[in-house]
Structure 1
Amino acid sequence: MKKFITILSLLAFVGTSAMAQFPGGGPGGPGGRGGQRGDGNGRPGQQQTPTLNLEGNAPKGNSKITGFIIDEAVTTAVEFANVALYNKENKVVDGAMADEKGKFTLSRVAAGEYKLVVTFIGYADKTIDNIKVEKGKDIDLGVIKLATSAKQLDEVTVSAEKSMIEEKVDRLVYNAEKDITSKGGDAADVLRKVPLLTVDLDGNVSLRGTSNIRVLINNKPSTIIASSIADALKMIPSELIKSVEVITSPSAKYDAEGSGGIINIITKKSTIQGLTLNVDAGAGIRGSNLGLNGSIRKGKLGVTMGGGGRAFYNKAGVSLDQSTLVNGNTILTKQTADAFDNGIFGRYNLGFDYDISKNQSLTAGVNFGTRNFIRTQDFTTNIYSNNVLNSTSFRNVDSKDLSNSVDVNLDYIRTFKPSQEWSVSTQYSKSNLKNNFLAELLDESGTLASRQKNLNNNINQEVTVQTDFQTPIKTNQMFEVGLKGIFRQVNSDFSYQVAGATGDFASDVRNPAGLLDYSQNIASGYLSYTYSTKNKYTFKAGARYEYTTIDARDQIKDIDIPAYGNLVPSVNISKTFGNTTLKAGYNKRIQRPGLQQLNPNFNLANPQNITIGNPSLRPEITDNFELSVSSSIKKLYLNASVFGRQTNNSILRLSSPSDTLIGAVITTFQNIGTQQVFGSNIYGNLNITPKWSVNAGVDVFYNYLEGQTRNVDGSSSLSSNTGVVVGGRLQTQIQLKNGWGIQGFSFFRGRQVQLQGTEGGFYMYSVGFRKDFKNKKGSIGLATDNFFGGMVRRSTLESAQFKQVSVNNIYNQNVKLTFSYKIGNMRMVEQKKTKSVRNDDVKAGESNNNN
């Protein structure tokens, strides 16, 4: 049925008999429909009326039959509808396709009696009988109205159903729109279910054991992602996500950034003609969501507008046991804290696309994201010196992470012939981030003694301009070339203020105010060549050169960071044997530091556990190798891969005791490390029945890290740490009768090594049910997450000077009710091909927000 639908969308006439009788009625060129020339861009070309070829037996005349085809509900043109003319013997004698305005013309019609049949996917067939044509006289049928066919739409939905997991030549695709348990969540909930990916409880993403990746949204970057991937994922409601692409071996066409690979989140776009409005809502004991998305398309112009928001509320408990060695004395810190989190996140968009002509198009869009995360924590801290209690303090902290971002893009693409195209893409992005806290310090009796606050304002903006050109060479080769410029500006302005129990705040002389002005400009160009052989070998090789200049200054002086250039090669080879594909790849990648690694602001919300950035960081350089095999065996799909990764100049977290704050540990970032990773991924999908599928995967990798750490006497020495990390996932989905569906999911990741300790493992699970309405326009669902008491994660840090054990209890049990409904009329149109900016070059920060 899926193949049948594909053929229908390419035919100029209904039925294989019509196709046989008209040479112009077969499929067009790449991207075209039958009876017309395709523009190679997924769009039909200019209409051409087919020529009769009935071996001299078809009558020819000089009359015309014309008319306009519209949708009876929304009174808009039905573009490219199929028109067939039958004689009294019920044989096709002529045919055509409607143009973009719904108009069709049948020329050279002989005198006689006929009937006309109009067809298009998603509509009921329309037959006009008793058409009498007189010699030399034209007939205008006027407006012909087509009614939507619910039955046909149902067939399209079922037969075009995608698998949850698809593997393409250069990427793995997770079709998130089929996931019924993620409704009411955010992008982090979706990414947790994607093979090869790990998303921890804070929303930090890693690919094959590394968090040095690049996340794109619809092939585009966002400045909020540069600040923190975890924060950005919370802004994107799960209902907006169509699919997630995991690219482990990017070609030279992609920016060199992202040592582990690229994750591309594809949101739902309008592929319909007419006017629609989608409503998604959900309510749960941990969070609620609301989304509205509308689209209207008429002729050459399409407009989409909408977005979604999510609010959550969650409790957490944290304990910290920490011992430090200071001047020969052992300082023991025991700390507990109860936390309550409130967050409101949203992402909203307005988009336009316009066909200038059959081979030129413009797209433009504005995306706005907002994030408001508020955490209240009540700390109790006991400090012991040589096992004797030295002090007890109470600290109530209100932290506010507030941010908003805007991305504006304008893109142009021109197609010269099939697969030969030139594009220009531009984008402006800006994010504003406030990371503030207000602390109240209480004495042992609980009386307010003093107050502290930190004000930290950050701005991250960038302008990107790029141009790309690709052209085929013969039928089995492709050449691609492109140029790109990124102009990035990062600013951080921070200050600490103190006050007594009453009175005004004043600057803290022990922690003076500071700032960072950081400008980064990147010029790059690439060449890529693809060659395919008749015996199903495909070779893709390319190289990219990037030159980076940096100007940085703090409040006092310039920061000397020399310019640097990088040549980044990539090679990918694949070979297909029947249902089995073997792939091998090598690429070199760059990982530049992100805002949270650069920001020199001391985060003193918890004075026993402080984080500070380093504006002098330089990029990491990584060599990646991978070998994979995939095969389909009846109802079973299997994919297995082995990979290796060597990273030099690695950016690692480095912790050491504070010289001024007793019992405190300060964490910063340094280019001190070398990291080696070797591992394997095994993934399988089994369709037990057409309605029941099960997929599972296992990830195993060995991690070796080494770097310079600080000794007790203040000197440095080479330290190392090794370990094996195991993770896995299991998911099943069943489609039942009468529109019912059920899905279950579970995931775990074992303990992961760090240079100075380990990061605790964790697991997650969920079960969901959904009931589709009979008209297929809506559904209602019920899902539950982690219903056996929430999560516990235990992590350690250790060196010659200190030892830290932290336990994080996250009470994230959740039950949620979801509702989705679609109103308006829709019909299928061709999805347009677009080009847009892709910035893949910033190491995203880590988040300490638990929710």
Structure 2
Amino acid sequence: MRRLISMTVWGLLMTTTQISAQNKSTVDGNVKDNNGKALESVTVSLLKAKDSTLVKTDITDANGQFELSASAGGKFLLSYTIVGYDKKFSDHFELQAGQSFHAGAVSLNAAPKKLQDVTVTSRKPMIEVKADKTIFNVENSINATGSNALELLQKSPGMQVDNNDNISMKGKTGVKVYVDGKMMQLNSKDLAAYLRSINSNDIEAIEMISNPSAKYDASGNAGIINIRLKKNKKFGTNGSMTAGFEQGVTPKGNGSVNLNYRDKKVNLFSNVSGNIGRYENDMNLYRIQRDTLYDQHAVNYNNNKSINIKTGADFFLDSRNTIGGLITTNFSTNDWTSTSNTDISYYPTNAYQKTLKAFNTIPGNRSNIDANLNYRYADTSGKEINFDGDYGQFRGRGNSYQPNYYQDMNGNILSQVINRNYTPTNIDIYTAKVDIEMPKWKGKLGFGAKFSYVKTDNTFDFFTDANGSPVKVLSRSNSFSYKENVNAAYVNYQRQFNPKWSLQAGLRAEQTNSEGILTRADGLVQDDNNVKRNYFDLFPSAALTWTVDKKNTLNLTYSRRIDRPTYQDLNPFENKLDELTYEKGNAFLRPQYTDNVELSHTFMYMITTSVGYSHVKDYSTMTTDTVKNATFVQQKNLATQQILTFSIGSPLPIKKWWNGYANFWYNYQMFKGMIGNNELKTSIPLFGAYMQHSFTLGNDYTAEASGWFNGPSIWGATWKTNAQGALDLGIQKMFLQKKATIKLSATDIFHTASPWRAHSVFGGLNINGSGSWESQTFRVNFTYRFGSSQVKDARQRQTGLESESKRIKG
């Protein structure tokens, strides 16, 4: 199969390259100043003579030379622009297909004013609503300053992050998180740790795509979140430095440095950022199980240090061919400690029995290294080829020391159990993909293929403590190896039939081969020691757009998607959290499949209203169950989940100096299935809202007020959570000729995001949960920009690891 994919990719590359070489026309020349000196970085634009429509642009090199290409003949003219010089146009000229035209030497006159001292900037709206996605432009938000990526997701329209760091979109779980087009294959714990290490200073925008096309991997039943990191778009040498301080319960700090060099032939870029701080949260569980009451109170601390490094280069071989390399790394240490106190009573009489005092210390570290090699071909006819080869590596290490002491009401120790474990995780991901687009059949045809191979190795060594020395317990120790190969191919077609109708339709095929091997240290063989799976699936998608009139547009979308289990969720062995609670994997977890259909209406290009329906087969969720006096959590497949959705959102241009955005969503979820021997049949309505207002105050001052609210929700099909929300305020000032910015912000003004409350009654287990975290903070952020300010759009590319990185679990 690998050989077939390679031959297919090579054939696609050769065929498209041969097609694009036909009927090529070129226009060249050189540009000088009025003293005869060559001018570098002049923007030269090829325009249609009839209506000045842009055909192609180029930038002059160090010798002032340029070369433009056109796919068809006609009458054209050239424009020449650069800051500090008067704009100039050429005379009209005619160009035949396959012909070359030499424009000769052109001289530009220096502008009478010092335009080089004037910087012209454009500001994107903070929230952009498009037909296929909603975009949160983080770099334009004051209140986003000092936040990490996980906090920003909670503030984004329609997004939720619960107390267990599970992410959902408009109440729907199964969201896949991408960073720069690469899916992070991490479980909720490791993904949360990684997202907390990314500071808002490094983020350009967050894209929320509810119904991705066939070009994207089929993973993610609720859709895709793509976190776009900043990439410098300016010519010359330039960069920025940022430093931030945050005060919550404890102080925290962050900083970053960006450097960039760009000219006509090369773009070199790099970014280094870091975070340091201690995060505190508390959790309370009031649990009734059989005839026993457990009243647990725990305080958790996470000492976090992280550094992110991103470096890369793009080489522009000519106007059509570009090659690039990119390496991103993340290194973090997370020393997690917990102290809990659990009073145990006889529930019928509330008679006190004993107290469990448990301590857990887990020093750990994680590292992610991703390397990408990219080739891009693009010409003026609309043909484009992108090839990506990627390697991703995840390494996680954790050591847990967990003493448990049972005491009487006077504090005398009745008994003790001291546990230790060692849990290294190694994950390696290899991918290769090609994407091709070209004009075809009066529209745009896209097709491509992808190969991925993932290998994970997990070790769980469990120890008891004997007189201060660890003794390995063979019956509770294991190693788990998992291998997965996914081969995929897709075709996608897009066409505008007339001014009113447009269609996009696609089909993606994915063939999956996987094997999980559990090796117990005691040599015991059981049913789930070796689980193999091979399956083939088709994933259609379509979008039909009808422009009813100048004010109204309708958009109907459909997609079928899949959620495969995270790698460590398949590990069937138990991981004891304390003496009374533990988690265990499930080697027989099946992927879940979702069919989504959505109808949206846009009024005046501003107000977007949508309704939708989702049906999930083999719905997978975290469940809570019991064995004797212990409680455990495990991922299991239920029968079905059905979701009805509604949302409305719109920008609010209130005054010239006052702009806003508002979004409201509602859905109704229905669950039906079995958890063990217990039938689950429940329905629940969910709703939420988001708003943001920005104010231009004059004298380079701007201010912002933003807030979110999520009504009572559901987690894991059985947990019902209370409402939460927050209001944030911020102000910013630009100075030093707008090269420096200082931002002040306060989050969760009324302390309504925290605490949280949840309740679950199912299968003989009654639990009331509550807790809080550092949601109320004050933040200061300073940024200084230096170097060239001439902007040139950076090329955007999507690496090949999109669908693999999300499923890593430590």
TM-score bin, normalised by smaller chain = 0.7 to 0.9
Paired AA for residue 424 in structure 1: F
- Where does 1:207-246 land on structure 2 (aligned, <5 Å)? 207-224=169-186, 228-246=190-208
- Alpha-carbon deviation of 1:563? 0.3
Closer/same/farther in 2, CA of residues 68 and 198 from structure 1, 3 Å limit: farther
- Where does 1:46-85 land on structure 2 (aligned, <5 Å)? 47-49=27-29, 67-70=36-39, 77-80=40-43
- Alpha-carbon deviation of 1:352? 0.6
Distance 2:492 2:106 in 1: 53
Correspondence for 1:379: 340
1:666 aligns with 2:629: no
- Where does 1:464-479 land on structure 2 (aligned, <5 Å)? 464-473=431-440, 476-479=442-445
- Alpha-carbon deviation of 1:105? 9.8
Distance 2:798 2:719 in 1: 44
Closer/same/farther in 2, CA of residues 689 and 343 from structure 1, 3 Å limit: same
Match of 2:283 among 318, 322, 339: 318
Closer/same/farther in 2, CA of residues 709 and 842 from structure 1, 3 Å limit: farther
Correspondence for 2:737: 775
Distance 1:140 1:565 in 2: 60
- Alpha-carbon deviation of 1:493? 0.4
- Alpha-carbon deviation of 1:370? 2.5
- Alpha-carbon deviation of 1:215? 1.4
Paired AA for residue 624 in structure 2: S
Query: Is the deviation greater in 337-346 or in 644-653?
Result: 337-346
What CA deviation, in whole Å up to 9, does each residue of 1:326-370 have, x standing for no partner? xxxx12111112233322233210111001222110111000012
Correspondence for 2:387: 424
- Alpha-carbon deviation of 1:566? 0.4
What CA deviation, in whole Å up to 9, does each residue of 1:508-557 have, x standing for no partner? 35x52111100010001111111212233111111111000011100155
- Alpha-carbon deviation of 1:285? 1.3
SS at match of 1:253: coil
| Count of residues in correspondence between the two structures | 734
1:808 aligns with 2:771: yes
Q: Is the 8 A contact 1:318 1:806 kept in 2?
A: yes
Closer/same/farther in 2, CA of residues 595 and 147 from structure 1, 3 Å limit: farther
1:698 aligns with 2:664: yes
Q: Is the 8 A contact 2:392 2:801 kept in 1?
A: no
- Where does 1:118-517 land on structure 2 (aligned, <5 Å)? 120-123=81-84, 125=86, 149=115, 152-153=118-119, 156-157=120-121, 160-224=122-186, 228-286=190-248, 287-325=252-290, 330-386=291-347, 387-442=350-405, 444=407, 445=411, 451-473=418-440, 476-500=442-466, 502-508=467-473, 512-517=476-481
- The gaps in structure 2 that reach 5 residues or longer are 1-18, 47-56, 68-77, 89-103
Correspondence for 2:52: none
Paired AA for residue 173 in structure 1: I
Closer/same/farther in 2, CA of residues 141 and 709 from structure 1, 3 Å limit: closer
TM-score normalised by the chain length of structure 1? 0.80
Closer/same/farther in 2, CA of residues 190 and 147 from structure 1, 3 Å limit: farther
Q: Is the 8 A contact 1:262 1:840 kept in 2?
A: no
1:639 aligns with 2:608: yes
Closer/same/farther in 2, CA of residues 78 and 206 from structure 1, 3 Å limit: same
What CA deviation, in whole Å up to 9, does each residue of 1:427-471 have, x standing for no partner? 111111224321233453477955322211112221010112221
Q: Is the 8 A contact 1:224 1:431 kept in 2?
A: no
- Alpha-carbon deviation of 1:218? 1.6
Structure 1 residue runs of 4 or more that deviate by more than 6 Å after TM superposition: 63-66, 138-148
Match of 1:591 among 557, 563, 566: 563
- Alpha-carbon deviation of 1:811? 4.0
Distance 1:126 1:538 in 2: 38
Closer/same/farther in 2, CA of residues 419 and 805 from structure 1, 3 Å limit: same
Query: Is the deviation greater in 530-539 or in 221-230?
Result: 221-230
Q: Is the 8 A contact 1:81 1:102 kept in 2?
A: no
Query: Is the deviation greater in 837-846 or in 282-291?
Result: 837-846
Closer/same/farther in 2, CA of residues 825 and 811 from structure 1, 3 Å limit: closer
Correspondence for 1:615: 587
Q: Is the 8 A contact 2:566 2:809 kept in 1?
A: no
- Alpha-carbon deviation of 1:222? 3.6
Match of 2:494 among 530, 535, 540: 530
Closer/same/farther in 2, CA of residues 118 and 599 from structure 1, 3 Å limit: same
Distance 1:707 1:537 in 2: 42
1:574 aligns with 2:545: yes
Distance 2:218 2:565 in 1: 13
Q: Is the 8 A contact 1:165 1:172 kept in 2?
A: yes
Correspondence for 2:641: 675
- Alpha-carbon deviation of 1:275? 1.0
Q: Is the 8 A contact 1:121 1:828 kept in 2?
A: no
Q: Is the 8 A contact 2:126 2:138 kept in 1?
A: yes
Paired AA for residue 458 in structure 1: T
Distance 2:171 2:552 in 1: 27
Q: Is the 8 A contact 2:184 2:803 kept in 1?
A: no
Closer/same/farther in 2, CA of residues 523 and 449 from structure 1, 3 Å limit: same
Who wins on radius of gyration, i.e. which is larger? Answer: 1
- Alpha-carbon deviation of 1:101? 2.7
Distance 2:725 2:170 in 1: 17
SS at match of 1:177: helix
State the superposition RMSD in angstroms.
3.3
- Alpha-carbon deviation of 1:97? 8.4
Paired AA for residue 251 in structure 1: S
1:625 aligns with 2:627: no
Distance 1:277 1:417 in 2: 31
Distance 2:748 2:809 in 1: 24
TM-score normalised by the chain length of structure 2? 0.84
SS at match of 2:738: coil
Match of 1:729 among 690, 694, 699: 690
Distance 1:844 1:105 in 2: 47
Closer/same/farther in 2, CA of residues 400 and 64 from structure 1, 3 Å limit: closer
Distance 1:376 1:585 in 2: 47
Correspondence for 1:718: 679
Q: Is the 8 A contact 1:570 1:588 kept in 2?
A: yes
What CA deviation, in whole Å up to 9, does each residue of 1:691-748 have, x standing for no partner? 21121111111011122123xxxxx143212110111112111111111111111112
Distance 1:846 1:809 in 2: 24
Q: Is the 8 A contact 1:767 1:784 kept in 2?
A: yes
Distance 1:178 1:303 in 2: 25
- Alpha-carbon deviation of 1:224? 4.3
Distance 2:247 2:662 in 1: 29
Paired AA for residue 724 in structure 2: F
SS at match of 1:221: strand
- Alpha-carbon deviation of 1:314? 3.1
Identity %: 21
Closer/same/farther in 2, CA of residues 147 and 385 from structure 1, 3 Å limit: farther
What CA deviation, in whole Å up to 9, does each residue of 1:592-617 have, x standing for no partner? 01134224453323333322222321
SS at match of 2:181: coil
Distance 1:368 1:284 in 2: 24
Paired AA for residue 328 in structure 2: N
Distance 2:644 2:672 in 1: 15
Distance 2:271 2:114 in 1: 25
SS at match of 2:532: coil
Closer/same/farther in 2, CA of residues 657 and 165 from structure 1, 3 Å limit: same
Distance 1:46 1:366 in 2: 35
- Alpha-carbon deviation of 1:490? 1.7
Query: Is the deviation greater in 248-257 or in 333-342?
Result: 333-342
Paired AA for residue 666 in structure 2: V
1:562 aligns with 2:528: no
